[in-house]
Amino acid sequence: MRKVHGSLIGAAMIALTVAPVAQAQDAGIDKRVERLEKEMRAVQRSVFPGGSPAFFEGEIAPDNKPGERAKGNAPVIDLTARVDALEAQLQTLTGQTEQNSYQLRELEKQFTAYKAEMEKRLAAPAIGGETPASLPLSSTSGTTKPATVTQASTTTTTKKPATTPAASKPELYPEAQAQLKQVVAKWPKSNQASYAQNLLGRAYLDEGKPSLAAVAFYNNYKDRPSGPRAPHSLMYMGVALDKLMVAAFCAREHIPHATLTPDRPIAGSLQAAARTARYDLLDGWRREQGIDFIVTAHHADDQLETMIMRLNRSSGVGGLASIRARNGQVLRPLLGWRHMDLTRLALDQDIPFVDDPSNSDERFDRARLRHALRYQSTIDAEAPARSARWLAEADEALDWAVDQAITSWPEVDDTAVIRDLGYPPELFRRIVMRRLSHADPRLVLRGVTLDTVIAAMREGRRAMVGSLLIDAAGERDGSIWRISSAPRRKS
């Protein structure tokens, strides 16, 4: 009996001894978890600047629902496994941060190594400078980022913006940068902040710190998208990234490159005017270098966006053909590829790329549409891309039919004559537009406007289109018209 009592007392003492040990172990692991979670959030803020930890959930999470007791008979072992996994994830994130920092330092080293050689090839300044001493109070028309092109057999040429006055006195950089930061901090919502932040980026750029310059320009565009220097910052961000990334990459791969900048401010609609300026610069560079074609990386998602925008504008066959695989000397061989596939390919092949912040600026129609399409799964972008290709072929077939129809007319050489021999509506629209374009190449008529002109012609009324007149040619059946210039108005 005494042995039984002794055994019970011994078991009780062992239980009482194990319980505090387990509790102490639980408390110790809880502290480890809490510490690791804090470190994880710190690393997340470093890897994802400005992000909330709520959007970057860890891969390891408890199996239990809130309020539910731990599953299994070994909660301490389960918690230990979670901690081990959390430590592994922290190590991975930390390694990624260190790798990113190392790659950035290597890019800057490579740029510095080639700076002396590249400086010899710099072209004359293309854009006037701004002085930190006096901030302009009136806004000017916007410009956009330069187009960067590469070609394996040309000589490297770089047109860089004019430098700030501090460039000749490096010792003034710290003071100028400090003053500009004060202006931004004191009046963050004013036009002066837009000017000052842009100048801050310029100062970093001239000082040879493209990474800091790119951040300054990006923040100016992001924080003040309507500021007077927002478009300038967008353009200079491209220059900074070119110095930091494109120049370094091309130097590493021995690929000569050129950075093209417009020689005058871009006026009007920012995206449309910038697009026109970009292609003008590229085409001029192509002709100077004796190159046959320019190749761009437009993809199936671009095609889908363009087609939906054209549908919203009641476009016909030509408009719905959207982005053409070939337009003059511009080739677009990647229209059948998805954006995510191209991104994955670039990452796999270690090819650097940049996301243009204006692509997510929802002030623009295309950016708003891109945001709406991002979360839909109903439309497969590759299918509309194929439809656009077939519509382009149909558009070419209709133009061929117009050529055949006009060639059959007795007045084939008289470009002022328009005939209607019972042509289908779309064919006759193109015949009218073809003849009007001969008279005034700048004239563009589409949709309802063109149909209104044709309705007036069929009713026997004079139709006025810009500086042109369309009158019936006297035939009873009303099938012939003649184009003439409208008389000048008396001043």
Q: Domain map of the chain by residue range?
A: 1-51+73-120, 121-291, 293-407, 409-485
Other residues' Cβ atoms within 10 Å of the Cβ of residue 302: 21
Q: For the chain (length 491 residues), average pLDDT per consecutive 10?
A: 50 48 57 68 54 40 42 50 63 63 63 54 39 37 38 35 48 79 86 87 81 85 84 79 77 84 70 84 94 94 93 90 93 94 89 74 82 84 92 95 94 91 94 93 85 91 90 78 85 57
- What local confidence, expressed as pLDDT, does residue 246 receive? 78
Burial class (CB in 10 A: 0-12, 13-18, 19+), 481: buried
Tokens for 138, please give them. 């009136």
Specify the pTM.
Answer: 0.54
Q: Does the structural domain 293-407 have CATH classification 3.40.50.620?
A: yes
Q: Which residues contact 328 (CB under 8 A, 6 or more apart)?
A: none
Q: In terms of DSSP bridges, do strands 417-419 and 463-465 run parallel, antiparallel, or are they unpaired?
A: unpaired
Q: In terms of DSSP bridges, do strands 257-260 and 157-158 run parallel, antiparallel, or are they unpaired?
A: parallel
- What local confidence, expressed as pLDDT, does residue 387 receive? 94
CA-nearest of 208, 4, 32, 232 to 126 is 232
Tokens for 141, please give them. 């028309």
Tokens for 69, please give them. 């007791």
- What local confidence, expressed as pLDDT, does residue 419 receive? 93
